Structure 1
């Protein structure tokens, strides 16, 4: 018998891409509300409580309200918002870092943010291994396609073709920072500098390192080897050993659920740039939700993914 899945917020970008990944799969049956009923709280509450799995693709406050509508001890949830990423009782849905069994056995799973996916993937294994200090004031630079900003930002970029680069979060304190700090185990909140470029999808996340100034830090080669060992066998996360002259985000990027990591080092080993490339709508959102759903349902974690 198929598992029933209700995507609350199915009309948004993340919800639509989750539905695309589940289309044609016999293991799941989507609970679909028509245009009138999807904004009706009574209809939503009924769907939330009848489904085996619920995936929330809502703003933070609406996600919290949806959780409060659950009246049973059976329905399992994946929240794609940032509402529960450091909340007690919620499992952080990054199976490669948190553990596949932890996700598989959880009732409440919070999907990682797109930018934090790159930052955590690069730094958490190295901090755990003692190759990077936990008490360092890290900086994270990142650029993303505009699709992660929701309908308003998508409309703005598509209407104003003169926008070449949008830096934001300039007042600091971005909502992604708490999960970046908590799930790496850092003493200090990282300085996070995000930006958006005129491409629909795609993301590059970078953590620059002054290795020569960091107590006990490993060399670029040691860092790369540690990441390769940590993600060995992962069907989703790949660690590349090459050192290209440039890394590109292309406007024509096809959807993908992979996450590619690199450690690029100075010739003398004094500095390094940790770089993650991903699709902000793939491993950064919808692909991650489907991967978590697969694990929670006891299925192959890559089923339906674009790898």
Structure 2
């Protein structure tokens, strides 16, 4: 079979479907209706002469052939990225694609300079396309290790040995509850950790993340790894939980949420530029890292290109 541009577009659609976990989840990323995605998949299966996935009421699942096609397509797209790099070197112009994973709500943090970096990067390298996905920190780390993301901007509980972390900024997370929550009716007001034991907590879905934990006897009646999910849980008026101070400000100003103001229970997660230690780094990825570091001069010396081999091998990064 001879591949053409149409086939490559279909294969890229197939990759997004697989990595999203199905047709419905891929709709927003592709900007296509579910019926249009289904038609594209039918076209690809016809072109390849094989069934790639099962879809229907039982859910989405790759066939054995589909899993092999996914693996081969991943190799092909990585090779195309390397080819684009070589063409860019010949023409002295940067081509390619950068895939960035970030956690939710950090755009509201004044210390987050990613929008400015993206603006400067897009002006300097107009031939490079960028995909920006919002996801959990753990998912970002896994996809970096798998070579499916180029760059991560996340907060990690435990650093993975296959990744390199460079601290960029931190944020303050504090305890909040709805203004109607009974914790604010305590007399005297809650002033110690143990004063909060009678109240249910909105957790993060795993232990050891925040200063209030099930191991300390707190009841975790609900959980969300996302700040938006946590905000929804707190707005029910039933739970106490952590939110970034900058993110909670809107509801505090409107009177819907109140801060418990227990500064000893505040915590300060660090946000890191996260990169794979091994693989092949595209020129586009290297340039995106450099654009980001221009806005973090205190960290730039740690990931300057000539110093990458000390933390990240620039000839072996996955990009």
- The structure richer in helix per residue is 2
Class of the TM-score when normalised by the shorter of the 2 chains: under 0.3
TM-score norm. by structure 1 comes to 0.26
TM-score norm. by structure 2 comes to 0.25
